[in-house]
Structures are given as structure tokens and as C-alpha cells.
Amino acid sequence: ASSRSSITIQDILNASQQQLLPRQGYKCMSCCRVFPMLSSVKAHIQNSSQEGYSCKVYYCRMKALWEKEQRAQEAAAPG
């Protein structure tokens, strides 16, 4: 699987950094559902199309944008 289709736990945590109440679980930033564990969110994202959601598309696009921004920052860095 390419890096764009492989969503990691770190990707989920990066997307949820603005979450206000992490003790209540982890929120899918695409559909706003709350899950008790990170592994539950990851399973939800991977199987979202079967559940009628497009959460995987959201996270893949978000990851692609982060990677593009990181490459641009690296290219702009003096060195």
C-alpha cells in the first residue's frame, strides 16, 4: 500500500490534536464519531466505506497535504 492509503496511528493523532476532551475517547475528525481507543478509530477509518462513510478518503487527503507541506518546508529550508 502506498503511504497515501496507509493511515497510521500517528496520522490519527496529528489530525486530532485540536480535540478538546481526549479522556472521553478519540474522535474521527471526518465524521466526528467518538471511539474509546485509537485502534477502534483506525479500524473505523480503514472500513469506513463499508459503513457508508468517506473517512479514509478524508485522512488520505489530509496525509497527502501534510506530506506536501513538509516537502515544501524542507525545500525552503536553507541548507
Over the stretch 48-67, which tens digit does the pLDDT of each residue have? Answer: 988 888 999 999 998 898 89
Query: Cα 4 to the chain's mean position, in Å?
Result: 11
- Which residue from 57, 4, 10 is spatially nearest to 31, judged by alpha carbons? 57
Q: What is the pTM of this model?
A: 0.64
What single DSSP character describes residue 37? S
Over the stretch 8-41, which tens digit does the pLDDT of each residue have? Answer: 778 777 777 665 555 678 889 899 898 988 899 9
**What are the sequence ranges of the domains in the chain?**
24-76
